[in-house]
Amino acid sequence: MTVSGGGMDELRRDYRGPALDEAEAGDDPFELFGRWFAEAVAAPIELANGVVLATATPDGRPSARVVLLKGWDRSGFVFYTDYRSRKGSELTGNPHAALLFWWPPLSRQIRIEGTATTLWGPDSDAYFATRPRESNLSAMASEQSKPIASREALEERLDRWERAWHGHELVRPPTWGGVRITAEAFEFWQGRPNRLHDRLGYRLNPDRTWTRERLCP
């Protein structure tokens, strides 16, 4: 049963985005992603690199959260996390994942499906070295996703780590680092008037080429 009201009708909006046709999109989803991401940054959209990461347990129970995209190229889309976290544990047990970018001012959405791999060693070390010391101490002190008694207990735990590492260069813990999602499918959604949106999907072929198709909105 669907229940309306509670101000939901007032949230309705019409989309006035430009057309997304096959000629403008091209045959390469990475090139289109690059153009759209650059336009989101230039808009500017706050946290244009904020992306919903969806994971699932081996038996298919899903979960989702927002992470920050920290790099991308044709090899994949990279974010960083505690490998002991819920998302880290789920990706270990089931490497299939999905990413969702949503940029309301541009009436645009990008979905990416793919497979996760861990960035061990130098890549994670290099990114860890660029982060503020306070952020790294928080990452070291927190057992992400694990229960803790209180905020005070969390702050006390951080204080112990700060005192333990005072005067020393921080070293990335092996439980924290990068994850790369290697893309196997893309979908680009452009909001259009009267809900007649443009949707273009790309699927990776065994020969590493891409097949593009238009999808009904």
What pLDDT is stored for residue 1 in this prediction? Answer: 52
Provide the 3-class DSSP secondary structure of residue 175.
coil
Distance from C-alpha of 29 to C-alpha of 186, rounded to nearest angstrom = 7
Strand partners, 111: 100, 187
157-202, pLDDT tens digit by residue? 999 999 999 999 999 999 999 999 999 999 999 999 999 999 999 9
Q: How far is the C-alpha of 66 from the C-alpha of 50, rounded, in Å? A: 6
Task: Give the separation between CA 199 and CA 191, rounded to whole angstroms.
Answer: 9
Superfamily of domain 15-122+178-215: Electron Transport, Fmn-binding Protein; Chain A (2.30.110.10)
Domain boundaries, the chain: 15-122+178-215
Each residue of 38-47: pLDDT tens digit?
A: 999 999 999 9
- Residues 119, 179: contact at Cβ < 8 Å? yes
Q: Is the pTM of this model over 0.75?
A: yes
Annotation says 12 is catalytic: no
Catalytic residue among 192, 195, 208, 214: 195
pLDDT (average), residues 10-36: 92
Contact 190, 108 (CB under 8 A): yes
Question: Residue 79 carries which side chain, given as an amino acid letter?
Answer: F
Q: Name residue, tokens 């999905």.
A: 98
Residue partners of 135: CB distance under 8 A and separation at least 6: none
Three-class HEC string of 86-106? HHHHHHHHCCEEEEEEEEHHH
Listed as own residue / partner, the contacts of 132-135 with beta carbons closer than 8 Å and 24 or more positions apart are 133/170
**Over 60: is that where the pLDDT of 3 sits?**
no
Residues 79 and 121: their CA atoms lie apart, in Å, by 15
* Amino acid making up residue 194: N
